[in-house]
Amino acid sequence: MTANPIAVAIREAVRLLRESGRHFKSRQVAEARRLLEQALIEMELHQMSKKLLGVKIPEHLRFADLQLARDPITRAVSFNWDPIEAICRASDIDIAIMRDGPEDNVSCLIVVWYAFHRETGGDQDPIQEQLLREVRREDASPYN
């Protein structure tokens, strides 16, 4: 699969802005960086939502039902398992895959659900947005 040229351009712009941000104290540079990072998040969420094909989100569920939270001290993420169980039942997925499997299993389900949520007009979730930004920074790290 070839890289999306828009994504490549946005990533490069963010990288350049990060470098220039070290040399300039400019609100415009910071705002441009924030806007580019948000554009990248939105584009990647759009791509991820296409992966949702095999997962069924019951109509009564809302992303907010997940009650995604983060401990301000430990930074640990918590959420309500009931919506995950409902999605698994509707999608004929064994809940043990989410509960007992690698953390990435449930993380991916939440990210894909969020992408679908946003694509269908759902509001931003501040915790999920924070987590997506952190993943993006880790992915952009030269040490990754």
Structure tokens of 11?
Answer: 């990533």
Whether the per-residue pLDDT at 18 is higher than 70: the answer is no
* Closest C-alpha to 88, from 107, 64, 106: 106
What Cα–Cα distance (Å) separates residue 106 from each residue in 8, 13, 23, 97? 28, 31, 40, 8
- Please, what is the average pLDDT of the chain? 78
The pTM of this model reads: 0.62
Domain boundaries, the chain: 5-50, 52-140
* Closest C-alpha to 63, from 50, 80, 46, 39: 80
